Amino acid sequence: MASTRMTVTFKMFRGTMATWDHLFAEAAEFATNLGRERLITISHSEDQQDGVVAVWYWATSNEAAG
């Protein structure tokens, strides 16, 4: 039986017009749907009022990133 290869990938949520609450809510919903066994971490950053939240997770090799 062949095993499924897992790779680390991410989905990014960003926006200069979006509030932090909105970005984190979107990221939290996505992470919840992934399930805790696939979630690695959630990170965030801001540069000149451009907020970015990244959800890092395990994906099968045939799943598209981001």
Residues 5-59 have pLDDT tens digits of 899 999 999 987 888 999 999 999 999 999 999 999 999 998 887 899 999 999 9
Burial per residue of 29-50, b for 16 or more beta-carbon CB atoms within 10 angstroms, e otherwise = ebbeebeeeeeeebeeeeeeee
pTM listed for this prediction: 0.83
Q: What is the pLDDT of residue 64?
A: 56
In 3D, which of 44, 24, 43 has the Cα closest to residue 32?
A: 24
What pLDDT score was predicted for residue 34?
A: 96
pLDDT band at 65 (very low <50, low <70, confident <90, very high): low
